Amino acid sequence: MKLPRYKRDSLVSYTLGATLTYELIKTAPEQITRIFLRPDIEIGHDLSRIISEAKRLKLDIIESQKPFNVLNAKGDCLMIAEFNKHSSELNHREPHVVLVNPSDAGNLGTIMRSAVAFGFKNIAIITPAVDFYAPKTIRASMGAIFHLNVQEFSSIDEYRQQNPERPLYAFMLNSTAQHLAEAAQSAPDNYSLIFGNEAAGLPANYADFCQSVFIPQSQYVDSLNLSIATSIALYSFRQI
C-alpha cells in the first residue's frame, strides 16, 4: 500500500479519528477515497455504527496499522479517512470571515468550529498562512471544515478585487475603532470580518479601507488569544 507522509501539496488529506471520519461520511462521502481501521482493536458500538454506514455507502475500508504510523496518529485514533481536497469558492451573497496570515493550525481549526457554530459559511485566508487542510487543522475544527467554503487569496487586494462592494470590519485598535457591540448591531448584509495574525495583528493601513472594531478589555492583559477574539466577534455578529 502506497502512503506518503502528508504534505501541503498532497492531493489528499486525512481525518485522524472516528468522530471526525463520521462527520466527513455524513457531510461529503463522495470526497472519501478510502478508510483505514486499526487492526488490533475491539470494535465497540459507536465504531460499529460508523463502519456500517461506510459499508452502506460502499466505501473502501482497509485494516492496517501502517497509515496510523505514517500519519503519526496517536493511541486514541482508531479510524482515518483519506479524502480528496476540495477547492471551494466563497459565496458573495453571504458574510465572510477573513483571516490574514493565520499561523497556528489549532487556532485556525478552533475558529472554523466557532464559525460554523455561529452560522458563518465562508472563510477567506490571506496567504502566507498555515495549511487549512492539514490533518491538525481538520482535527482542531472537529469536522467543522466540511461545512465551510474556504478560499485562499495571495493578498487582501486580491480578496477585495474578487469580492468588491462589501462593508469590511477590521479587528484592530486605533483612534476611530468602533465598539464591537455597536458594529454588530448596525451591520448590513454581506459584510466581511477581518482578523490579523496571532503575533502581528493587522497592519495599520487596514483602517484606510475598513471600519476598525475593538473588543473592550481591561488594561491588565495585552490582548486576547486570536481564536478567542475571533469567536467573540463571530458570536456578536452571529447569523443564527
Binding mask 98-117 for a copy of itself (x = CB under 8 A): ------------x--xx-xx
Does residue 44 interact with a copy of itself by CB under 8 A?
Answer: no
Distances in Å between the alpha carbon of 88 and those of 85, 91, 123, 146, 236?
A: 10, 9, 10, 11, 26
Whichever of 21 and 163 has its CB closer to a copy of itself, that residue is 21
Buried b (16+ CB within 10 A) or exposed e, 123-139: bbbbeebbbbbbbbbbb
Does residue 147 interact with a copy of itself by CB under 8 A?
Answer: yes
Q: Which of 14, 101, 231, 237 lies at the binding interface for a copy of itself (CB under 8 A)? A: 231
Does residue 39 interact with a copy of itself by CB under 8 A?
Answer: no
Report the alpha-carbon angle 182-204-232, nearest 5: 35
Residues 201-230 within binding reach of a copy of itself (CB under 8 A): 215-218, 220-222, 224-225, 227-228
Single-letter code of the amino acid located at 125: I
Site residues (CB under 8 A) for a copy of itself? Answer: 110, 113-114, 116-119, 142, 144, 147, 215-218, 220-222, 224-225, 227-228, 231-232, 235, 238, 240
